[in-house]
Amino acid sequence: MDFDWMKIPYAFLTLFIVVNYGFLLNAFIQKIGARVGRRHGIPIWQNYADMFKNYGLRSSITHGVMFYLGPVFRLSGGVGLILFVPIIYGSTMFSNMSFAGDLILALYFIFFGTLGMALGAGESGHPHAAIGITRGLSQVTTAELPFALAVFSVALQYQTLSVTDIVAAQQGGVLNWTLFTNPLAVSAAMLSFLGSMMRPPFDVVIAPQEIPIGPPTEYHSSYLALMQTNRAIFPIAKIVIYMNLFFGGATDWPTFFFKVFMIYLWSAFVGVVFPRFRVEQSIRWFLIWAVPLGVLSIVMV
């Protein structure tokens, strides 16, 4: 097999850029949320301080092997997602390990971390963690459903499972974007997007005052820091998929930064306008409003 070893340092470089952009963007979006609430909000480098502090805690308690592996799974879900989709279209440096069937792999990786979390949080033995993960998984599952339908619709439309090919098909003008060639799939996916970004109205699972913070109740120090790192990577990774599938991808870093920010802003925008849903409300909302759109988009294709 012919493997270009240079891809590995390039992938690390991509990861480095994405992690830092993720930390800053998360803080920036939180700041936007705070400004809407007429607060100043956290400093832009707050997430770095939180992460360093958690890595720097001197003691930690484990509840077993799976408790260790939960955050590791979660982080590998985010990193895997980044590594297997082309970040910058047409660039040999930042196309990473993308290959012909990477769309299916990406779908798998999106879910992978949540499942790892479920096992890890379950082993902590804390009842709040168990209830939180049940609620989280049921919400994520229904939120993923319209996205999966939209992905199938897009795959049918372009007759390929390769993200690179899908991006290639959208080049040459804004009107070639999936947004305009398959609006139903994009709207289904964008509704599903709200559900997985952990912003209101769908953030009840990790809401501090609900079931105390849900799945990560027992997680602390380095475990929590790993999860925070993933918090930086995962939204960007997920947005990259969306950008590639629906918004024409990016051919250089400035385009990348701008598009990722705009897509992220969509969830922040909805988040500051609407109050929280309860879990059963959000499940019903996804099933009633987003899933039919996804089904319709497949039928139309």
Partner 1 sequence: MMREELKIRVVKGPDGVEFEVDPLRDYFCEAPPASHPPAYAKIVEDLFNWARSHSLWILGFGTGCGAIEMRPLMTPRFDAYRYGIAWRPTPRQANLLVISGYLSVKTLKRAIRAYEQMQNPKYVVGLGSCTINGGMYWDSYNTIKRLDDYMPVDLYITGCMPRPEALLQGFEDLKKLIRAGKAEGANQYAEKFEWYKANQKQVIHDWDMPDYNW
Q: Interface residues with partner 1 (CB under 8 A)?
A: 34, 37-43, 46, 48-53, 56-61, 208-209, 212-213, 216-221, 224
Instruction: Give whichever of 7 and 220 is closer to partner 1, judged by the CB atom.
Output: 220
**Closer by beta carbon to partner 1, 52 or else 289:** 52
Q: Where on the phi/psi map is residue 4: left (φ > 0), alpha (ψ -120 to 50), or beta?
A: beta
Residue closer to partner 1 (CB basis): 58 or 254: 58
66 or 213: whose CB is closer to partner 1? 213
Question: Which CB sits closer to partner 1, 46 or 255?
Answer: 46
We find the least distance from the C-beta atom of residue 216 to partner 1, in angstroms, to be 8
Nearer to partner 1, 11 or 225 (CB): 225
| Nearest distance from C-beta of residue 74 to partner 1, angstroms | 16
| Residue 18 φ/ψ, nearest 5 degrees | -65, -40
Residue position matching structure tokens 């089904």: 295
d(CA 22, CA 154): 27
Residue 210 C-beta: closest distance to partner 1, Å? 9
Residue 55: CB minimum distance to partner 1, A: 8
**Closest separation between CB of residue 61 and partner 1, Å?**
6
**DSSP characters over 261-288:** HHHHHHHHHHHHHS-PPPHHHHHHHIII
Nearest-approach distance from CB 58 to partner 1, in angstroms: 4
Annotate 55-99 with three-state secondary structure: HCCCCCCCCCHHHHHHHHHHHHHHHHHHHCCCCCCCCCCCCCCCC
The Cα–Cα gap between 138 and 127 comes to 17
- Yes or no: say if 79 and 12 are a contact pair by the CB < 8 Å rule: no
